[in-house]
A and B are shown apart, each in its own frame.
Chain A
């Protein structure tokens, strides 16, 4: 029976290419989008972490509270060591220190990321090994051993897959390290510091104690701990927090009203939290897309059911039960949905390849983004559910009490049709889903667009940030910096050069700032430039002057320059020039200038406008270079050799490219949202058109009578539009209500500020109305442009 039903369904579908193709394309596109999103979500959120007892692993984050304001993300290496020694709460812990290093023995001396770790790292993460061994206990944090476990990828990229590498030595910066092992190919480095590739894991080359590294507070220190059984996290955070704070307070020159604490975070949360927003945005968009596509497909199947009413009536007259009708509908739906699933999966795999490149920049877990079995199983299960739902819903529409009408009709222009109420519900649902998605997407896209197009405040054209490796020269660093700057400035293609410790896109340091009475003002972003910094940036000096040049190593001009926003906050209408501030509670600094704010996008789509600038007082081999045109790294490298043959660029990047990279997540999220939105609106538009077209076709005969009696077309159009727009308005109203309720609930339950853009509202309503107007106008226009007799004859 089933076999025959499938045969019959296949034969039917072949006779309905328009219907079949529409359902196939709609579902294939939707399932492809949904599958990709499920795949990404699975990779980002639900896939178990590839570490033994991953649920018992915690990241040893710290908190820092200044004047009652707490911030996270910066750890002290010495306090990490204090935690490392704990035996009360922690069963086993590894310390980690991310360092940007150079492989000096490799051609071009590439800059790579290495994590310094203690031996426990490999055991806690169950690190598989391809070759060699991991760190031994006597290669720990205070043993001053220099051993290195290479990552599998680095072994291939930098060491030519040398099978005899284990036991050999390589230079990292100026130190010789023995390579003792290669991690397994499958090992995934936990994304605690970020999603970039890590080239290896070395021992700590110098001892760390609880007092040795008090000046090192950075996001590049951290640890992973496995806790003892039954540990109460709150108690542990409190007890260990007190311990490290006591240690912190016991050192000299502690800033007043400052304390640190422990804030252990589950490893899973730490890794997943970075991807939450992307995952949820995509999932929500895909869910709405599925709802709209389902509404479309159900509408198409309802039309099909109406079309099949006569066949169904014959079957029922011959004794077919509702189950038989359901099976018949199911065979059609499962054939179409099944084909759409196969097509969708193929499309999804293609999209995965395309997306993996961009996503892997943000999350290393995405490097091998491909369809996995859980995703395929979920996609197939969803397809089966969709098939069953369509079959159930459409077979429920069969009116067994009206079978006689269908049986006694000629088969043309039967009374069988989708009810007006069902049609109105379908349109209202489509409008409602699409409006909600459009509104939410607009809410996200507007700030994203603003961020992507906001001027930075300085001129990035032909601006480069470079770092020169002078490690192999014996020239004094101050002298070397001076010589390099002079050489670069003498190049015809270069307009200006400034020494700088960081690129203008990096926040630099978050540093304390004190007023003239050495009272803490707060933690403010700090950057270092020399006297030519603002010229290279083309950053307008609003008041005062630039830095006085520093002529000798270690000397300081004790000057400070403020950003306009910081100056405004500190001095309001007072003149900031000549005011005194402290950056370190020791040396008073005179404000010599105020520069315009710079707008560098941060992770949360905001800007850090309050900054202060200090002069570069020691030798720096990092520079900002402003070119007259695009600069050639090769030419400049060649020029550098005039100072010393070993000089090379360790980093050479146009600031424009760096800005693009910084905006990549925003761009990617925006692009994915726009793609899903475009697909959703197209499907919604097509769906609304389909239903309204059906409604007009139902009224075709009536319209023909009106036309034959001499009715004016504009009157008919307005009459039909009025009828068509009723469910559109209902859909818009319901969506507005749903958004308002959602906003109300979110503002109550969420601790974050929930913002709602009125611009999004003003975008949503006209777009949805325009789509609905076009979808309503096209069918009626087609009917009234024909001779009335055609409508009367139902031709």
Chain B
């Protein structure tokens, strides 16, 4: 395994002020994610899982601490620079899929590629999208609109979209939260397969069954990383 750190968090805190009251959602979180890792973060509701994932995905900023992604310190980046990093290095899979209803499957997957600074020809774009669709076995649904697909299919499309720019890491937020168990199992298997092919993944889940599928498990409680079980090491 390549030991290059895709992500490095040092002493990250996140403070929210609600109604004049301060709440510390993350309290000094340290985390390194190595290329090719499959990491799960679990914990009870309100422990800070989603906050941590949002910070990792550059959707939110930490109150203090240092965050490095693919060697870039993101502390002082402006909106555009953060968008570029997000586009290039991160793939996001949301619990509620977050596909754009007005676009068909193909255009949804093509969207991050179009936002990329590297212009692709139409042929290359099509090829890239179809490759992503093949990975999630959804090539036959390319022309469909999201609302014509089942939840499981939508989540697979969301995974394909997350892979479109060949990111350094996939951030996955409760991927089975809106799925029945059959579809959930299928999605989780797909994620495992992707990791086996070398995709780095960081998944937030409160389902211990799926958390166990990750090779490295982290546990958050009240904003603090209280436990880490490296299954690979144990194995």
Contact = CB atoms under 8 A, between A and B. Distances in A.
Interface of A: 1, 4, 8, 11-12, 15, 310-311, 313-324, 400-401, 403-404, 407-411
What 10 A-B pairs come out closest when comparing CB atoms? A319-B87, A318-B112, A319-B115, A321-B83, A314-B98, A404-B54, A404-B59, A319-B86, A321-B80, A320-B115
Interface in B60-110: 60-61, 79-80, 83-84, 86-88, 92, 94-96, 98-100, 102-103, 107
Of B50, B83, B114, chain A has the most CB atoms within 10 Å of the CB of B83
A311 B88 CA distance: 20
Nearest to B86: A319
Given A319-B84, A322-B79, A411 B102 contact: no
Interface in B144-192: 161, 165, 173
Contacts of B99: 314
A324 B57 CA distance: 19
A321 B80 CA distance: 5
Given A311-B100, A408-B96, A317 B57 contact: yes
B116 interface: yes
Nearest to B101: A311
Contact of B96 (A8, A316, A410): A410
18 contacts: A8-B102, A15-B102, A310-B98, A316-B59, A318-B86, A318-B92, A319-B83, A319-B86, A319-B87, A319-B116, A319-B165, A320-B111, A321-B84, A322-B79, A322-B80, A407-B94, A407-B98, A408-B173
Nearest to B54: A404
A236 to B, nearest CB: 64
A11 B102 contact: yes
A318 B160 CA distance: 12
Contacts of B112: 318-319
A322 B94 CA distance: 22
B72 to A, nearest CB: 14
A408 B95 contact: yes
Contact of B59 (A315, A321, A324, A407): A407
Contact of A411 (B96, B114, B116, B161): B96
Contact of A315 (B84, B88, B111, B173): B111
Given A313-B98, A319-B83, 20 more contacts: A1-B114, A11-B102, A15-B102, A310-B98, A311-B102, A314-B98, A314-B100, A315-B100, A315-B115, A317-B59, A317-B94, A318-B86, A318-B161, A319-B84, A319-B87, A320-B83, A320-B111, A401-B61, A407-B94, A407-B98
B87 A403 contact: no
A400 B79 contact: yes
Contacts of B59: 316-317, 403-404, 407
A408 B87 CA distance: 19
Nearest to B97: A314
A4 B107 contact: yes
Interface in B21-72: 50, 54, 57, 59-61
Interface of B: 50, 54, 57, 59-61, 79-80, 83-84, 86-88, 92, 94-96, 98-100, 102-103, 107, 111-112, 114-116, 161, 165, 173
A318 B102 CA distance: 16
Contact of A317 (B92, B102, B103): B92
B102 A12 contact: yes
Contacts of B60: 401, 404
A8 B107 CA distance: 10
Given A12-B102, A311-B100, A314-B98, A408 B79 contact: no
B111 A318 contact: yes
Nearest to A409: B96
A193 B114 CA distance: 66
B132 to A, nearest CB: 13
Contacts of A404: 50, 54, 59-60
Nearest to B94: A407
A311 B96 CA distance: 13
A408 B95 CA distance: 8
A317 B114 contact: no
A505 B114 CA distance: 75
A1 B102 CA distance: 15
A666 B197 CA distance: 83
Contact of A318 (B50, B54, B79, B115): B115
Of A8, A12, A314, chain B has the most CB atoms within 10 Å of the CB of A314
Contacts of B116: 319
B126 to A, nearest CB: 13
Contacts of A15: 102
A12 B101 CA distance: 10
Contacts of A323: 80
A412 to B, nearest CB: 11
B202 to A, nearest CB: 15
A322 B82 CA distance: 11
A403 B116 CA distance: 20
Nearest to A322: B79
Nearest to B158: A314
A12 B102 CA distance: 7
Contacts of B61: 401
A407 B93 CA distance: 11
Contacts of A311: 100, 102
Nearest to A15: B102
A476 to B, nearest CB: 92
B96 A4 contact: no
Contacts of B54: 404
A402 to B, nearest CB: 10
A10 to B, nearest CB: 10
A473 B76 CA distance: 102
Contacts of B161: 318
Contacts of B165: 319
A316 B79 CA distance: 10
B159 to A, nearest CB: 13
A319 B81 CA distance: 10
A4 B106 CA distance: 12
A323 B117 CA distance: 13
Contacts of B111: 315, 318, 320
A109 B57 CA distance: 91
Nearest to B61: A401
Contacts of A310: 98
Contacts of A320: 83, 87, 111, 115
Contacts of A411: 96
A318 B58 CA distance: 11
Contacts of A316: 59, 83
A8 B79 contact: no
Of B84, B103, B116, chain A has the most CB atoms within 10 Å of the CB of B103
A322 B92 CA distance: 19
Nearest to A315: B111
B67 to A, nearest CB: 16
Given A4-B114, A404-B54, A404-B60, A317 B96 contact: no
Contacts of A314: 98-100
A271 B111 CA distance: 60
Contacts of B103: 8
A403 B92 CA distance: 13
A407 B53 CA distance: 12
B86 A324 contact: no
A625 B95 CA distance: 92
Nearest to A7: B107
A315 B114 CA distance: 11
Of A12, A319, A403, chain B has the most CB atoms within 10 Å of the CB of A319
Nearest to B80: A321
A311 B102 CA distance: 10
A214 B115 CA distance: 85
A317 B115 contact: no
A15 B94 CA distance: 26
A224 to B, nearest CB: 63
Given A403-B59, A408-B50, A317 B98 contact: yes
A304 to B, nearest CB: 13
B100 A321 contact: no
Nearest to B112: A318
Given A318-B87, A319-B83, A324 B115 contact: yes
